[in-house]
Amino acid sequence: MKKIIALSTLVMVAAAGPAFAFQCPKLVKQINDTAGNRFDAAAQQARVDAANAQKLHAEGKHAESEKAAKDALAKLGVK
């Protein structure tokens, strides 16, 4: 019984990783949409941070990408 629980937990964790990977592009899009046509320093930095988050996502570093994107959104005033 313990083996079944351990195996099912392992399968769920393995399946959850790629599912969270899809959040990175959504966050990057949200940054770019929010920055829009703004030309202030916060929007400029957010665009740089979005590019960095996209790069991290492409490298498979999804946790770092998500953190960078969320930090950029916070700088733009998005909660």
Q: Find the mean pLDDT for residues 5-12.
A: 59
pLDDT value at residue 19: 47
Q: Categorize the per-residue pLDDT at 12 as very low, low, confident or very high, splitting at 50, 70 and 90.
A: low
Token look-up 């498979």 returns 60
Mean pLDDT of 23-52: 93
Tell me the domain boundaries of the chain: 20-75
Whether residue 16 is predicted with pLDDT greater than 50 in this model: the reply is no
| Average pLDDT taken over every residue of the chain | 83
The region of weakest confidence among 19-23, 38-42, 74-78 is 19-23
For the CA atoms of 38, 43, 48, 51, what is the dihedral angle to 10 degrees?
A: -70
Contacts of 6 by beta carbon, 8 Å cutoff, 6+ apart: none
